[in-house]
Amino acid sequence: MGASPTRQLWDRVTVFDGSRTWPQPMAVIVSDERIERLIPASELSADQRAGCELMASGGVITPGLIDCHTHLVFAGHRAAEFEQRLEGASYADIAAAGGGILSTVRAVRAASEDELLDQTRPRLQALMADGVTTVEIKSGYGLSLEDELKMLRAACRLGRELPVRVLTTFLGAHALPPEFSGRPDAYIDEICERMLPAVAEAGLADAVDVFCEHIAFSPAQCERVFQAATRLGLPVKIHAEQLSNQHGTALAARFSALSADHLEWLDEAGVAAMAESGMVATLLPGAFLTLKETRLPPIPALREAGVPMAVATDGNPGSSPMFQLTLMLNLACTLFGVTPTEAVQGVTRHAARALGLQGQLGELAAGKMADFCLWRIDDPVELAYAVQPGRLQQRVFAGEITHGAPDSGVTP
Ligand code: DI6
Ligand code: FE
| pLDDT for residue 411 | 45
| pLDDT for residue 14 | 98
**Ion ligand 2 contact residues with beta carbon within 5 A:** 314
Name which residue sits closest to atom 7 of ligand 1, judged by CA: 211
Tell which residue, 373, 378, 301, 313, has the closest CA to residue 338. 301
Atom of ligand 1 nearest to the CA of 91: 11
Q: How remote is the CA of residue 2 from the centroid of ligand 1, in Å?
A: 51
Buried b (16+ CB within 10 A) or exposed e, 4-28: eeeebbbbbbbbbbbeebbeeebbb
Name which residue sits closest to atom 3 of ligand 1, judged by CA: 319
Q: CB of 284 within 8 A of CB of 257?
A: no
Name residues whose C-beta falls within 8 Å of residue 108's C-beta, 6 or more positions apart in sequence: 73, 74, 75, 116, 141, 142, 147, 150, 151
3-class secondary-structure state, position 351: helix
* Helices H / strands E in the chain, number of each: 17, 16
| pLDDT for residue 5 | 57
Name residues whose C-beta falls within 8 Å of residue 387's C-beta, 6 or more positions apart in sequence: 324, 326, 327, 330
Mutate to test the pocket of ligand 1, among 136, 284, 314, 323 (most ligand atoms within 8 A of CB): 314
Name which residue sits closest to atom 6 of ligand 1, judged by CA: 211
Burial class (CB in 10 A: 0-12, 13-18, 19+), 60: buried
Atom of ligand 1 nearest to the CA of 314: 3
Mutate to test the pocket of ligand 1, among 316, 320, 322, 328 (most ligand atoms within 8 A of CB): 316
Q: How remote is the CA of residue 101 from the centroid of ligand 1, in Å?
A: 7
First to last CA, the chain: 28
Q: How far is Cα 155 from Cα 164, in angstroms, rounded to an integer? A: 11
| pLDDT for residue 409 | 56
Q: How far is Cα 36 from Cα 230, in angstroms, rounded to an integer? A: 37
Name which residue sits closest to atom 4 of ligand 1, judged by CA: 319
Q: CB of 57 within 8 A of CB of 12?
A: yes
Q: How far is Cα 306 from Cα 89, in angstroms, rounded to an integer? A: 37
User: Where are the extended beta strands (E) located within 226-356?
Assistant: 236-240, 259-262, 280-283, 309-311
Atom of ligand 1 nearest to the CA of 141: 12
Query: Would strands 60-63 and 65-67 be described as parallel, antiparallel, or unpaired?
Result: unpaired
Q: How far is Cα 409 from Cα 11, in angstroms, rounded to an integer? A: 12
Name which residue sits closest to atom 10 of ligand 1, judged by CA: 318
Q: How far is Cα 249 from Cα 278, in angstroms, rounded to an integer? A: 12
Query: Would strands 26-31 and 7-15 be described as parallel, antiparallel, or unpaired?
Result: antiparallel
Tell which residue, 242, 239, 299, 290, has the closest CA to residue 265. 242
Name which residue sits closest to atom 1 of ligand 1, judged by CA: 239
pLDDT tens digit at each of 412 positions of the chain? 445 558 999 999 999 999 999 999 999 999 999 999 999 999 999 999 999 999 999 999 999 999 999 999 999 999 999 999 999 999 999 998 989 999 999 999 999 999 999 999 999 999 999 999 999 999 999 999 999 999 999 999 999 999 999 999 999 999 999 999 999 999 999 999 999 999 999 999 999 999 999 999 999 999 999 999 999 999 999 999 999 999 999 999 999 999 999 999 999 999 999 999 999 999 999 999 999 999 999 999 999 999 999 999 999 999 999 999 999 999 999 999 999 999 999 999 999 999 999 999 999 999 999 999 999 999 999 999 999 999 999 999 999 999 999 986 544 4
> Which numbered ligand comes closest to the C-alpha of 282?
2
CB atoms inside a 10 Å sphere around CB 146: 10
> Which numbered ligand comes closest to the C-alpha of 137?
2
CA torsion sign, 68 to 74 to 79 to 83? negative
Q: CB of 329 within 8 A of CB of 343?
A: yes
- Alpha carbon 405 to its chain centroid, in Å, reads 26
Using alpha carbons, list the distances in angstroms from residue 358 to 125, 350, 364, 367: 24, 8, 12, 14
Tell me, what amino acid is at 15?
Answer: V
Q: How far is Cα 7 from Cα 377, in angstroms, rounded to an integer? A: 25
Mutate to test the pocket of ligand 1, among 239, 261, 265, 293 (most ligand atoms within 8 A of CB): 239
- Alpha carbon 70 to its chain centroid, in Å, reads 6
Ligand 1 cavity residues, CB under 6 Å: 71, 100-101, 104, 174, 211, 239, 242, 287, 314, 316-320
Atom of ligand 1 nearest to the CA of 101: 12
Task: Decide: pTM greater than 0.95.
Answer: yes
Q: How far is Cα 116 from Cα 170, in angstroms, rounded to an integer? A: 16
3-class secondary-structure state, position 281: strand
